[in-house]
Amino acid sequence: MQNLLITGGSGFIGSNFIQYILRDSGFQGRVVNVDNLTYAGNPENLTGIEDAFHNQYIFIRSDIRDLGAIRDIFQEFDIDAVCHFAAESHVDRSIMEPDAFIQTNIVGTFNLLECARIHQGQITLFHHVSTDEVFGSLGETGFFTEATAYSPNSPYSASKAASDHLVRAYFKTYGLPVTISNCSNNYGPYQFPEKLIPLMILNALEGKPLPVYGDGKNIRDWLYVKDHCIAIWEIMRHGRKGETYNIGGRNEMENIRIVEMICDNLDQMIPPEDRSSRRELITFVKDRPGHDRRYAIDCTKISNELGWTPVETFETGICKTIQWYLDHTEWVERVKTGEYQNWIKKQYG
């Protein structure tokens, strides 16, 4: 991998991945970050990268839905590997505006696959980053494995399931060298504030209500974003072509318990002036349609084949995450107010 195309590299997981491979992994090739800088794409997530790695890092604002633009990027930069993060990724948004999810997650993935197929002689790997939501909902026991049947329940998860199937089909039909990873819920630095954990952190700091869907007992497996980045890089370097790898944090947690932990940690770190508990801000709201009850990932395969296991427990990861948001209030404010979008418009038009 000498010329690695990373799609969605200015988003939450993508920017953490670029930070990891350039700063920590020893990668000596070139990273071409293609991001359309929609609401969740933020160049500030990669502040300092272009200066520190000016010989290795290139940013291009482009849309994976534009086949011609993506074809030109493959040609101009001699792309020989792809790590595909770019996606519309918020379930609530997919319920309200499913069109964007179909166009970006399905058509955009198809465009990338087509460009990779055209350049198949030089493509060493197409890695597709997906989600455990494609598997649907679990009961009280059991785990998602790589053999679990797909059963998506939201427009978001259905669009990701479709893109997974496309990637697998290009391996089976055209022999394109691919790998796929399905991860559990990520959290950590640079996550957009609409997601559960940053939303609860920021609302709790401001004394705002902490909205929890339903009874709060929906369960997710939580994966610290740097652990996820390390896992992806292991798959890209050592995973078997055509294979899928589940990446989980081994941290099953009820939503209500997460919110309570955030409140308790913040109460210790920044005690409320009235000495009350931030748990009093918790507000139960109407459950969202199609809300899966439980996700849990079995990551035995990646552990056995590639030796990867998560480093962070939820307790250590949530402390690091809360501290990051406390230390980066300017980033938070610019994201919440949309000021960063004004900068993008001035910079890129």
| Residues marked as catalytic | 132-133, 156
Please give the DSSP secondary-structure letter assigned to residue 224.
E
Cα-to-chain-centroid distance, residue 293: 20
> Longest Cα pair distance anywhere in the chain, in angstroms?
66
SS3 category, 254: strand
Cα-to-chain-centroid distance, residue 47: 19
Residue with tokens 């962070």: 312
Residue with tokens 């011609």: 68
SS3 category, 247: strand
Yes or no: say if 132 and 182 are a contact pair by the CB < 8 Å rule. Answer: yes
The C-alpha atoms of residue 64 and residue 233 are separated, in whole angstroms, by 22
Residue 308 has which token pair?
């990867």
Give the β-pairing of 219-224 and 252-254.
antiparallel
Please count the other Cβ atoms lying within 10 Å of the Cβ belonging to residue 294: 19
SS3 category, 347: helix
Yes or no: say if 71 and 118 are a contact pair by the CB < 8 Å rule. Answer: yes
Yes or no: say if 97 and 53 are a contact pair by the CB < 8 Å rule. Answer: no
Give the β-pairing of 252-254 and 125-131.
unpaired
Q: Is 60 exposed, middle or buried (0-12, 13-18, 19+ CB in 10 A)?
A: middle
The C-alpha atoms of residue 235 and residue 239 are separated, in whole angstroms, by 4
Q: In the β-sheet with 125-131, what is the strand arrangement from edge to edge?
A: 57-61, 30-35, 3-7, 81-84, 125-131, 178-183, 244-247
